[in-house]
Amino acid sequence: MCVWAAVALFLVSHPIASGTPGRTGVERHPLAEVTKLLALGSGRFLAWNDRGAAYLSDTDGFWTDRIQLPVAHVWALVADGPGFLASGELGDGTTIVVLFDAKAHELRRWTPAEPGWELLVEGARRWYVRPDAMVELLSDGRTGPLEPFPERPGRTRRRQPRVLTDRGTRLICYGADRSEDSYARASCRRPEGEEWRFDDQHSVSPVNCGPWVITHGRRDEQVVVLSFDGRVVGQRIFRGVPVYACGDSETLVIGARRVVQVVKLPSLEPVWTRRLDKGNVVMVAAVKGAVAYGTDAASPVFVVRW
C-alpha cells in the first residue's frame, strides 16, 4: 500500500479522531450547488455539477471562485493528466468535448458529429465513447475514424457502454438493462473476448481501480469487486447505498449513510471506520495527502489534509 493511502485510513472522517499523527484538522469549504467530486492528477480536487459550474482546489487548501465551464450540460468528466476532460453540449445543442489544464483553462476542443456519454483517457490519447463506437480525439482538434464495438447478439437496443482500462487491457462494460423489451444483466467483455455477466441492478456501468472492477451487486447496498476476467474477488453489504472513489489500485474510499470507511482492494476488508455526527455521505474523492467528501446535511465540501 502506498504511503498516502495508509495515512488516509485515519483521516477520512469528520471530525478527525483525536491523537491522529500529523493531523491538521478538517477544512470546510462552502461551495454552492456542488454534486460531484473528482481527484485530479495534479493533486487538486475538482468540485462540479452537470450544469458546468466548477471549483478547483490547490495543494495549499484554497479554492477558486465559481468557474463556469464552456459546457451548458456536462455528460462526462474525467481526470486527464494534471487537468481534466469534459464532454457535453452547448446551449444550441452542439456536442462538444473540451480539454482543460490543472487551472481549468481550455486547451483544446472537439465537436463530434454524434452524441456520446463517456470518455476514455489512456496516457496521452483520448477517446469519445458513443453507444456504437469509440472515436479518438486527435491532438489537432480533429476526430479519428469510428472504432465500432463488437456486436451483441440478441440485443435489440444500442446502449451506452463504459470502457475500462488497466495497463493496456480494456473492458467494454454495460450496466443492467431493466426495460421490458430488452432486459439484460450487466456485462463486460474484452474487445476480442467473450462477454461475461454479473449481478448489478444499476443501469450505470461499473468503474475500475487498477485491475479491479467495482460495481453494485444484487442489492443497492452491496459493493462487489471483480477481476478483469469476471471472477468475484470481494463483496460486502453496507448500511445504505454506498458511494465510492479509488484511492489507488489497493484502496477504496466508501461513504454509506453516516459512515466513511477505507477498505482494502480487492477484499473490501475494512481498515478504518467512523460514523459522522450528521448527514449522509453523498460524494467522496481522494488525492495524495488529502480526502474530500460532502454530505446531504450541508453545502460545504470537507477536506482532510496531512
In order of 61, 133, 149, 188, 194, the CA distances from 191 in angstroms are: 42, 12, 7, 10, 8
Residues of the chain below pLDDT 50: 1-24
Return the pLDDT at 287. 82
Q: What's the confidence (pLDDT) of residue 153?
A: 60
- For cell 465500432, the residue is 148
Rounded CA separation 41/24 (Å): 23
Determine the pLDDT at residue 155. 59
DSSP β-ladder status, 300-305 and 290-295: antiparallel
Task: Return the sign of the alpha-carbon dihedral for residues 240, 241, 245, 248.
Answer: positive
Burial state string for 75-100 with b = 16 or more CB within 10 A and e = fewer than 16? bbbebbeebbbbbbeeeeeebbbbbb
pTM above 0.95, yes or no: no
- Rounded Cα–Cα distance for residues 224 and 206 (Å): 10
Query: Residue 107, exposed/middle/buried by CB under 10 A (0-12, 13-18, 19+)?
Result: exposed
Per-residue model confidence (pLDDT) at position 271: 82
Q: What is the pLDDT of residue 248?
A: 82
* pLDDT for position 9: 35
Given this model, what pLDDT does residue 180 score? 61
- Per DSSP, 132 falls in state S
Tell me the CB-side half-sphere exposure of residue 13, using CA atoms within 13 A.
24
Which tens digits make up the pLDDT trace of 260-304? 787 899 999 988 777 788 899 999 998 876 788 999 987 789 887
Cell numbers linked to 194: 467473450
Give the cell for residue 63.
479554492
179-189, pLDDT tens digit by residue? Answer: 766 678 889 99
**According to the model, what pLDDT value does residue 20 have?**
31
Structural domains for the chain: 3-18+27-305 (2.130.10.10)
pLDDT of residue 23: 39
